Chains A and B, each alone.
Chain A
Amino acid sequence: MTIDPATTKLVVEFKHDVPLMCCAFDASGRFLIAGGRDTNVVAIETASGRKKILAGHESWIGIATRAADLVLTADYAGRVVAWDCRGEEPKSRWTIDAHPSTIYGLAAAVDGKTFATGDREGVVRVWRTADGKQLHELPRIEYPVYGVALHPDGKRIVTADRQPQKPRIKVWDITSGTERLSIDVAELSGYRRVEDIEWGGIRALAVSPDGAQIVACGRTGYDGQACAMVYDAATGKLQRKLAVALKGGFYYSAKFHSQGFLVTAGGDLGKREFRCWKPNADESLSNVATSGPCLGMDLHPSGEKIAVAQAIGTKTYPELGALAVFEWSK
């Protein structure tokens, strides 16, 4: 089934009582699992709109991913919960305290059999999806790891850190922990000496289905544009800089669609969107404005829909969340 990324319609929007930061469809596409600024997972049966609140986390839930027949959610206390969505409603299959601190990076392998986590202390671990058993740990990175991705070849893992002034993408051999490639992504730094803080940094990673490209997304500079940087995965050479006039806003997530185009999502209070790109062209294929900044995003397993997790509110302090599901024309 081929879809047209230029034609999108909103299918449904689910409101929630806290800002939402992440979402993931389960393997069947029946459930949409989301989390945000509290300890509860929201599970929505998309067809009926039935909502279920699931306990199990200790802190805010910042990231979620689909992994084989599970959906994984990870929180700021270092906990990962695996949700089995094959029954009447999602149930926890296992829970692990994967890290002692905030998990910012979470990604599953293409086959879903393994997944990786990265935390605020720069620790990156690889796990077996079936039972949550740790398989590998990389040498510690000095800075918070905001993105991880498992390469389609099954041998490499990609990390993105928040080193001030020079956020880095690194490619590692999973088994040996050997660093294969390091790419400085200074374009996504928002460091200013006056505050001595990295305002920007790489906020998420994606690897193309063929493994040839790595995408890092964030913002160009202190008050720049939402941006995605596309690199050659073999050489680390910059291929393209995809930036839009979402001044002050970030791209918080990027994913490759199975048809080959790239989807980025993010924004700020004023401007928020998800956008489709050809990774080999400067102009985007389409963009869709959303109710609030998209802090998380996932593509439906069929490739026909996209869901975005948002923080919404009319004032500076958004106190609500929304999950919006859009459908592309076939």
Chain B
Amino acid sequence: MSHRKHLLDRAVSRRTVLAGAALGCGALALPLRAASAVAPRKQLLLLFLSGGASQFETWDPKPATKTGGPYRAISTSLSGVRIGELLPHSAKNMHRLSVVRSVNSGIADHFQGHYAMQAGRIVPGYPVVGSAAAKLLERPDDILPGYISIRRDGPKAYTDVGSAGFLGAKYEGVRILNNQPPENLVRPAAVAPTLADAVDRMRRSANDRFRQGREPAAIDAYGTTYDQADALMQRREIFDLTKESPADHQRYGNHDFGRNCLLARRVLQSGISCVRVTHFDWDAHQDNFYWHQVRCGEFDRTFITLLDDLEQRGMLEHTLVVVSGEMGRTPQINHLGGRDHWGRAWSVAMAGCGVKPGIVHGSTNETGTEVKDGLVKLGDLFHTYLTALGIDSQAKYEIGGQSNPVADPAAKPIAAVLA
């Protein structure tokens, strides 16, 4: 992308926001999105490696060191760059990726990490990037929810940490479990369309009466939920994976993550702004090397298949793909052959819209215990994601009379990574 085009795409400067409501009806004075009405919508795909993938077994191998583990580093399509042998497909596609090896989030806790790595802050209450993208990339005629979160069942308690915060219910994200559409998307046969319409009119009328003289935020939030549900009912085929060919199912892999990513592609094709696929569990406190063999095996081919498909469909140029977890894993290997929680020096990968392909930013020391150069904080990543999506990360939300920076003002985008 040329520098000029990049500037054009980043159409939004610091803006003020029209008076809004505490529960999320705050509106930006001008929509924070690409200026051109004909430009394709920018989209965000977050592949969240929940539990914390090991940087040593993935993006930042340290072979033949005390911390490096047993796996080899392999050559990649980027001259002089090697990654872990468990990611052979990613290795062949490193020229398309932008990898940050110098993340110091300072967090070694699942709950904190899930929130902070998605919200770009440690302070609670802020919207996660999925909700923020849904809000900031919104278009006036959008009827579908802007944020869809996809995962398999059986989560750990920390899996769903993070929310829309003060942006409110509209941007909370619709959760899809096991690729099943949200419940009750099909109108019961006993309810005739005319009856459903009548009930809906009555609901709207009641809302309008109740709204008079009252703060409208809560009512509007309920209304939004109804509208989004109705839109999903109309578009429920988005969640129908049977519409994908057996060949595509096979390409994505016969496992939860593969199916989730195939669904993510469908959701992105429907025009929804942000999709998060949670891949878990990576929390390898024991048997870390077998565990990563399994998880990387699921992730690697599926990730590249998804990138290929987005590119073939012309979607990658306006879709930012982020691969991150809540933390990395310890350089030390414990008595169970596991690696534990680690936030001091680890890696995040990106691809697609707004980031330079074929970049490895930052580095860690010989044993991976510390960031050596190009230090990146979690707030910097959040700024980078928004900037890559053409959003001014210095902008502010003005909601309920309160002004809140969209991203942590103490952090900044990673210039070296941005296209």
Contacts and interface: CB of A to CB of B under 8 A. Distances in A.
B281 A195 contact: yes
Interface stretch (A109-117, A168-176, A309-317): A309-317
B283 A76 contact: no
Contacts of A38: 64, 66
Contact of A120 (B154, B155, B293, B332): B293
A330 interface: no
Contacts of B340: 316
Contacts of B293: 102, 120, 144
A239 interface: no
Contacts of B72: 58-59, 77
Interface in A132-164: 144, 162
A311 B335 contact: yes
B221 to A, nearest CB: 32
Interface stretch (B4-12, B119-127, B284-292): B284-292
Given A59-B70, A76-B70, A162 B290 contact: yes
A59 B63 CA distance: 8
Interface in B325-339: 332-336
Contacts of B156: 194
A37 B334 CA distance: 12
A318 interface: yes
For the residues of B in contact with A, the DSSP-based class is loop
Nearest to A270: B335
B71 A193 contact: no
Nearest to B293: A120
B335 A199 contact: no
Contacts of B294: 197
Contacts of A39: 64
B176 to A, nearest CB: 17
Nearest to A120: B293
A289 to B, nearest CB: 16
Contact of B281 (A102, A194, A269, A293): A194
A196 interface: yes
Contacts of A18: 66
A37 B335 CA distance: 12
Interface string A58-99: 111010000000000001110000000000000000000000
A-B pairs, top 8 by smallest CB distance, nearest first, are: A76-B70, A60-B70, A195-B281, A317-B332, A269-B335, A193-B154, A59-B70, A194-B154
Interface of A: 18, 37-39, 58-60, 62, 75-77, 102, 120, 144, 162, 193-197, 199, 268-269, 293, 311, 313, 316-319
Given A59-B71, A319-B66, 17 more contacts: A18-B66, A37-B333, A60-B70, A62-B70, A76-B289, A77-B72, A102-B70, A144-B293, A162-B290, A195-B281, A195-B283, A196-B281, A268-B335, A317-B332, A317-B333, A317-B334, A318-B335
Interface of B: 51, 64, 66, 69-72, 152-156, 256, 280-281, 283, 286-287, 289-291, 293-294, 332-336, 340
